Homo-oligomer: A and B are copies of this chain.
Amino acid sequence: MTFIDKLSAAWQTQNSQLCIGLDPDPAKFPAHLQGKPDAILDFCKAIIDATADAACSFKPQIAYFAALRAEDQLEEICKYLRERYPHIPVVLDAKRGDIGATAEQYAREAFERYGADAVTVNPYMGFDSVQPYLERQDKGVIVLCRTSNAGGSDLQFLDVGGQPLYQHVAHLVADKWNTNGQCALVVGATFPNELAQVRAIVGDMPLLIPGIGAQGGDIKATVEAGRTANGTGMMINSSRAILYAKPDEMFAQAARQVALETRDAINRFCV
């Protein structure tokens, strides 16, 4: 089953367009996990088990594991997700971007080592930097388009022949790179008008939408701008607001509560 098929099925069976970002920061873990050797793994498993029925996808952010020499725990988390929740796609958030031979190594990392269903990539180095991922036709390739951070406009909002660069990227991916129907785009929730413009450009292509929750994006405006005609098409990501909903032993239950509320808030505007 391809990433896109798995995601489409998850939207229906899970009744959710909430993507749960796994950005484990041990400094924010509850006290009873602090200092444990596999704290990251234990924390993430508890979050996953508590929130899986509210999620259409999980998105581990590899930087948090790389900073802490915890790639082995990321492997375990991906394996856990594949075995326990095979119906929920795993997006490795790595934002890779490099020349072909190097991108081939990163593709092996994402899809063979971690067994992810999709990976985020950066478009700055152009088509051949994305091609090795595209060659895995069952995998999803999620290209950065319009990001939710303050500096996102520095390049992405530059005028390129009458349109901002991020719209050029949306056209490039939709019209040229997505020959196998496996692409998606990252478009931040902080700019609903721009999200709507990307949706108009890319048709039903899935959008990974960070920027709600801790980053402050408005759910109603996001959903109305990002949904497809049939009310799907989105992985609306929330990480910190769910992971760190409560700083004590009740963290997983609190995460579940926030995840369910966020899923429901999204669904409210999808009909």
Interface, chain A (partner B; CB < 8 A): 23, 61, 63-64, 66-67, 69, 71, 95-103, 105-106, 108-109, 112-113, 122-131, 144, 147-156, 158-161, 165, 168-169, 172
Is there contact, CB below 8 Å, between A98 and B100? no
Can you name the residue of chain B whose Cβ is closest to the Cβ of A131?
A: B151
Contact in complex: B105, A63 (CB < 8 Å) = yes
A165 touches B159 (CB 8 A): no
Tell whether A105 pairs with B160 under 8 Å between CB atoms, given A149-B100, A149-B126. no
Contact indicator A66/B109 (Cβ below 8 Å): yes
A99 to B146, CA, bound (A): 12
A165 — which chain B residues lie within 8 A by C-beta?
155, 158, 160, 165
Q: What's the nearest-Cβ distance from chain B to residue A262, in Å? A: 19
Residues on B with C-beta less than 8 A from A125 are 144, 147, 149, 151-152, 155-156
Complex: chain B residue closest to A153, CB-CB: B126
A97 and B97: CB pair below 8 A? yes
* Contacts A124-B124, A126-B153 given; does A99 touch B147 at CB 8 Å: yes
Would you call B123 and A154 a contact (CB within 8 A)? yes
Bound CA–CA A158/B158 (angstroms)? 10
Which B residues are in CB contact (< 8 Å) with A105?
61, 63-64, 66-67
Residues of B within 8 A of A71 (CB): 66, 69, 71
- Cα–Cα, bound, A102→B63 (Å): 6
* B67 lies within 8 A of A156 (CB): no
Q: Is the CB of B151 within 8 A of A169?
A: no
- How far does the alpha carbon of A126 sit from the alpha carbon of B96 in the complex, in Å? 16
Docked-complex contact B63 and A109, CB < 8 angstroms = yes
Complex Cα distance, B148 from A172, in Å, reads 20
Which residues of chain B are near A156, meaning CB under 8 Å?
124-126
Inside 8 A of A150's CB, which chain B residues have their CB?
126-128
Identity of the chain B residue whose Cβ is nearest the Cβ of A63 in the assembled complex: B105
Question: Which chain B residues lie closer than 8 Å to A159 at the CB level?
Answer: 160-161
By beta carbon, the residue of chain B nearest A176 is B154
CB pair B63 A106 closer than 8 Å: yes
Decide: B102 and A23 in contact? CB cutoff 8 A: yes
Whether A169 pairs with B155 at a CB distance below 8 angstroms is yes
